[in-house]
Structure 1
Amino acid sequence: MMGNRRPFKAAIIEFNPCLNNLNDNIKHLLKEVTEAAEKGAKLIVTPEMATTGYHYENRRALKPYIDTIPGKTTAAFEKVAKHYQTHIVIGMAEVDVEDGLYYNSAVLIGPDGYIGKYRKIHQWATENSWASWGDMGVPVYETEIGNISMIICMDASYFESARIAAVNGADILCFPTNSTGGSLSMLQAWAEMNGLYVLGANRSNTEKGYHMIGASTVWSPNGEKLAETSYIEEEKTRNETTIIYAEIDPAEYDNRSKRRLQSRQPDLYGDLMLHIGPWDFTKYELIKEAEDVQGNEMSNCAALLQYTPVIGDKKANLSKIKSLLKDTAAETKPKKGLLSLVVCPELSLTGPVHSLELTAIQQLGETDHDETVNEMQKLACMYQTHLVFGMIESDSHALYNTVMLLTPAGDIAAKARKLHVTESDERWATPGKDIVVTSTKGVGRVGLMVGYDAAFPETAGVMAVNHADFIIVPSCWHGDYGKEMALHTKMMENKYPTNTMTTWDAMARFAQAKTLIANFTGTKLGCRGGSAIYTLDPIYGGETPIVASSDKEEVLVVAIAQTEKDCWFDQNKLLLSRRTHYYRPLVKKFEHVPMLDCN
């Protein structure tokens, strides 16, 4: 139904409703929406619960202000939508006319009237006292300006919400929220990772002591910030409405990230459908494991090796690794204690091999018993550390892009083969078939993935379901996915480091597993460094990510003890609150949706 393929104007209405005042809220919001429509906006998005306010203690308190969909609210906004030939998303409280259940909902209205709605799947504590959890999944509505989905606030903490919208064919994700920062901080990653325009509409005032920060934002499908309202600190709460505008270009609906969806491997993602209930007996074993690992919290550290490889020269690269490790161990022992883990980049001893002939790549392939593994085993034993490295693995006449985890005794604890191969990998690498999480003595439960697998959030999602404490990603990243973080500088209590990358940061937070990246650097190779540890709760004052430079050879030494405790959100809370029934689109075979011809 895509009629208008020309760029169009979208608007975010940062509107602050008055609690317990449905009629006046609708009246005032209509005025603001009309202003945006008069200025040519063809898509208008408003905040969560924009017609009622947010904080209600129970169903009884909300009952006088609840509305049906369609109902009084939709009828009022349908007139504006029809007159100005625009589309409007309203965040509102909904009562189901058939059973009387209440929902935190968003409604989409178009030039021809009511189009559809969304009911919030993942709830925050406040609405748990009155709202039923959403029962519709994440619908996509086909309109003349593009395919539109809606999710709400807390949904952003679960990668599945935006991912389902993308897999179901969305072009635009509308995001009503009442946010103190956490939900808004995920939107750049969800835009770029899924190839969606994302429009996040927040509030900028304080309601019952709960302050919302403004910073409503429009993100492009490649993760660029197109418009943003100002950040409002609590002492400067702003009750008046702010409207911002951005251009949406339907030509951008066909993009690199959207095409990447066709490389998903749904057969591997089945564990996303597992719901880890409160009677998870494996949890007690994992708690004991974690207690054994902790010891002195400052005693465990990891070294992330970042260097420029010599392509195809195993001896030269091994020599570089040995030199970096020798210097690091000498510095680490007296200052920071036990070096528990060393992580090398993807294809550690060969470097990226896309420039080599196929026959040369085949000659670099090795088994578990050949030179690369033997040399790495010696290093693990010498430094009494867990060691993660990457290699071209030869097995049964097939080649794999593989990472291995060695124990301090030099044993192979686990290996993971790259699951989602890149175009350059396809010449020689067979995709792996397993998402790997393993227990280690001294580090914890570790998920292993290879480089480009990080661009597929399902991989880390499965690792979270399997209780990974850490996700380790040897990489050869050159900007082929992800974006440098562009959040408002005040959103994070401790400012994000320069060179922070959206995908890796989002992975740590949506999986609630600290994420360790070791990447190559080198201008001629196009590798962009940024080796890092990403943490679980950087927005609300938790541990800050630590990120290496983009262009220097260095070893980043980071503490890896699980020190963040009693957080508002942790892996246990994540697993208990996942809504697996609605994740089914992520494990179905991808049905190819033809890309729009926007020429």
Structure 2
Amino acid sequence: MPHQQRKVAAVQFNPKLNRRNANIKELKGLVREAAEHGADLIVTPEMATTGYHYLDRSAISPYVDTIPGLTTDQFSEIAKEYHTYIVIGMAEVDSETGLYYNSAALVGPDGYIGKYRKIHQWVVENYWSCWGDIGCPVFETEIGNIAMIICQDATYLESARLAAVNGADILCFPTNSSGASISMLQHWAEMNGLYIVSANRSDKEEDFNMIGASAIWAPSGEKIAEAPFTSEDTGDSLSILYGTIGKSDYHNPAKSRMLERRMDAYKELMLFLGPWDYTKNTHSRSIKAATIQYEPIIGDKQANLSKVKKLVREKVEDDVNLIVLPELSLLGPVQTSKKQDIQPFAETDDGPTIQEMKQLAREVKSYIVFGFAEQETPHFYNAAILISPDGEVIGKHRKIHLNEHDDKWATPGNRIFVTPVNGFGRIGMMIGYDATFPEVASVLAVKRADMICIPASWNGEHGVELSMSQQIFPRPYPKGTVSTWDAVAKGAQAYTIVANFIGTSYDFKGRSAIYNLDQNYVHDQTVIASDNQEEVLVNQFQTMKTDWWLDQEKLILTRRTSYYKPLVTKVPPFL
């Protein structure tokens, strides 16, 4: 195999509780098989040596091991014999403190390399395991820089981002998943420019069913390989999943975007606002939202204003209480060569088209999110404002991350705001390209946004259509779901309303959408517009899912802010 290409393997293995020695023996056989088939990296599931469900420290005490220790020694022998790298999911005891951890160990041809301790734990391991205390280290190897996270970690957008910021090329993911954690891996691969190798179980332990679907994802978000979904009726499915990764893809568009991170704007993601947060909304609200998708006439504010008014008046239902329009709603992405060129199109908060939009909000009695070129002498901003049904500007976002169209004229914003609206909810905003930086969604979650509005002018330059097995979900994702925006909704646990353009002038891709918090949650749904038709897309939802396994409150209370510091302080080493 050429040096630039490497074969990787995910071992889908089902350990038995309280059978560590037998588990290790069987697991070694599968790992050896993968090595004999030429795998340069082999990943095993979470807690692969012990099984998962233990009631307390005394129950798991006979089965923990130090790292390095007897377990890593045995797998190191295979790594040395076949010149390969192996990730072992296991229960660790710290030899100095006697504390236990849900860990993953990395061994290679020269023996033990390093470990990761799970930062974000699920309910079961909390009864015996300490939360991880060593951050998200990255280990340099001949096949690339390797990081590890485990299962529940994938629920938090910070986890994979930490691996990327710390310089990882490959993210190894041992898991015992019923679907929620593995459903985010395609998002994190594409947003962070990482290869991800995910090894899951495919059996039932206690009352918990693990669904297989181990997978290998490319930094582009492309699915390289995926094992079959397994249900309770399917039964155990032991398998080894193989895929090929290429070193040439370690440098990719998502990695390049790391150059554009605005760390000063993200500082608030370090805040831990719980459990005593007096700003959060405490009541669920019924929201009926509309996103408006149309083809702009580039630079013609009056023609676009007429189109918007017509769509709102004729196609927005009377009881809609939130309307979102695309980025630079009445302009589109105007081509400019210098800052002064935007002058004829820019206006202040009380400019003429803003006044028209205020009047429209009063007429239809709805909140409106509207994008415009803002002038605040001597600066111009790509901005979005939130207008109340009374016709008042009550919230504003200035685009923080500028794309190639913006940076010729716009000054970047530097703050992330959430607007509390009495009797309605807390509304956050980001604009277009901002959504590719997960730190923005993290700050909006910290500030307890119930809804996130994204005016966009998207032409496919980021994000991919989700392609993981749809058998994972009770209700499959609708066709056209975009990973970037789904990641915002899930990562912040906030309903996300995206408005985009259509049209051939800039190859706009449409797919305006209103994203649910979790596709496993069947009481609300994600809805997606077409990729080429003007339309008003409406969805009704109830904010604050307090009856679900994860909601924003649980997310906030389990964030591990002490380990997120690299996200707001560190320039990735590959830059």
TM over 0.5: yes
What do the CA deviations read for 1:488-543 (whole angstroms, capped 9, x no partner)? Answer: 01111101000001111111111111100011011332111111111112124352
Alignment-derived partner of residue 35 in structure 2: 37
1:190-224 deviation per Cα after TM superposition (whole angstroms, max 9, x unaligned): 00000000111000000112100000010000100
Whole-Å separation in 1 of the counterparts to 2:532 and 2:103: 46
State the partner residue of 1:251: 248
Residue of structure 1 equivalent to 2:104: 106
| Equivalent residue, structure 1, for 2:313 | 326
Q: Specify the SS of the correspondent of 1:486.
A: coil
Q: Distance in 1 between matches of 2:524 and 2:151?
A: 23
2:24 counterpart residue number:
26
Q: What CA distance in whole angstroms lies between the structure 1 residues aligned with 2:31 and 2:321?
A: 57
C-alpha deviation, 1:234, in angstroms: 1.1
Larger mean Cα displacement after TM superposition, 536-545 or 439-448? 536-545
Mapped to 2, the partners of 1:107 and 1:354 lie a distance apart of 51
Say whether residues 1:303 and 2:290 are aligned partners: yes
Does the 8 Å contact 2:167/2:572 carry over to 1?
no
| SS, match of residue 427 in structure 1 | coil
- Total equivalences in the alignment: 574
Whichever residue aligns with residue 543 of structure 2, its letter is Q
Paired residue for 1:510, among 468, 478, 491? 491
Is 1:446 the equivalent of 2:443? no
Equivalent position to 1:496, from 471, 474, 477: 477
Pick aligned residue for 2:552 from 553, 564, 571: 571
Aligned-residue identity in percent: 53
> Does 1:436 find its partner at 2:417?
yes
Indicate conservation of the 8 Å contact 1:492/1:541, yes or no: no
**1:195 alignment partner in structure 2:** 193
Structure 2 partner of 1:128? 126
In terms of mean alpha carbon deviation, does 564-573 or 454-463 score higher? 564-573
RMSD: 1.4
Name the SS of the counterpart of 1:8 in structure 2: strand
CA shift, 1:5, in A, is 4.8
Deviation at 1:589, TM superposition (A): 4.4
Shift of 1:424: 2.3
Contact 1:340–1:442, Cα closer than 8 Å, also in 2: no
Distance 2:544 2:4 in 1: 51
1:313 maps to amino acid: D
Q: Give the Cα–Cα distance (whole angstroms) in 2 for the partners of residues 423 and 592 of structure 1.
A: 25
**Partner SS, residue 321 of structure 2:** strand
In terms of mean alpha carbon deviation, does 440-449 or 39-48 score higher? 440-449
8 Å CA contact 2:544, 2:552 repeated in 1: no
What are the superposed Cα offsets for residues 286-312 of structure 1, whole Å, 9 maximum, x if unpaired?
32xx36xx3xx4xx4112100000000
Structure 1 gaps of 5+ residues are: 595-599
Q: Say whether 1:235 aligns with 2:233.
A: yes
1:307-365 CA-to-partner distances (Å, cap 9, x unmatched) read: 00000000110011011011124xx23xxxx2211110000001111367755423211
Equivalent pair of 1:22/1:52 in contact (CA under 8 Å): yes
Q: Which amino acid aligns with 2:372?
A: M
Q: CA deviation at 1:561?
A: 3.2
The structure-2 alpha-carbon separation of the partners of 1:148 and 1:591, relative to structure 1 and needing over 3 Å to count, comes to closer
Alignment partner of 1:119 out of 114, 117, 120: 117
Aligned to 2:522: 541
Please give the TM-score of this superposition, normalised by the length of structure 1: 0.94
Quote the Cα distance in structure 2 between the aligned partners of 1:563 and 1:110: 46
CA contact 1:266–1:590 (8 Å) conserved in 2? no
**Partner of 1:510: helix, strand, or coil?**
helix
User: Is the aligned partner of 1:348 residue 2:329?
Assistant: yes
Question: Who is 2:540 aligned against?
Answer: 559
Cα contact 2:545–2:551 (8 A) shared by 1: no
- Structure-2 change in CA distance of 1:73 and 1:576 (3 Å): same
Decide which of 401, 418, 421 is 2:382's aligned counterpart: 401
The 8 Å contact of residues 119 and 133 in structure 2, kept in 1 or not, is answered as: yes
Partner of 1:64 in structure 2? 62
Give runs of aligned pairs for residues 10-21 of structure 1, distance below 5 A.
10-21=8-19
Q: Distance in 1 between matches of 2:377 and 2:406?
A: 18
Listed as ranges, the matches of 1:176-191 within 5 Å are 176-191=174-189
1:565 deviates by: 3.5
Cα distance, 1:72–1:591 mapped onto 2, change above 3 Å: closer
SS in 1 for 2:21: helix
Q: CA deviation at 1:562?
A: 1.8
SS in 1 for 2:145: strand
In 2, Cα distance between the equivalents of 1:177 and 1:358?
Answer: 50
**Structure 1 residue 487: deviation in Å?**
1.5
Task: Give, in whole Å, the separation in 2 of the partners of 1:390 and 1:592.
Answer: 36
Gapped runs of 5+ residues in structure 2? Answer: none
Structure 2 counterpart of 1:485: 466
Q: Are the counterparts in 1 of residues 8 and 39 from structure 2 also a CA contact under 8 Å?
A: yes
Report if the CA contact (8 A) 1:485-1:501 is conserved.
Answer: yes
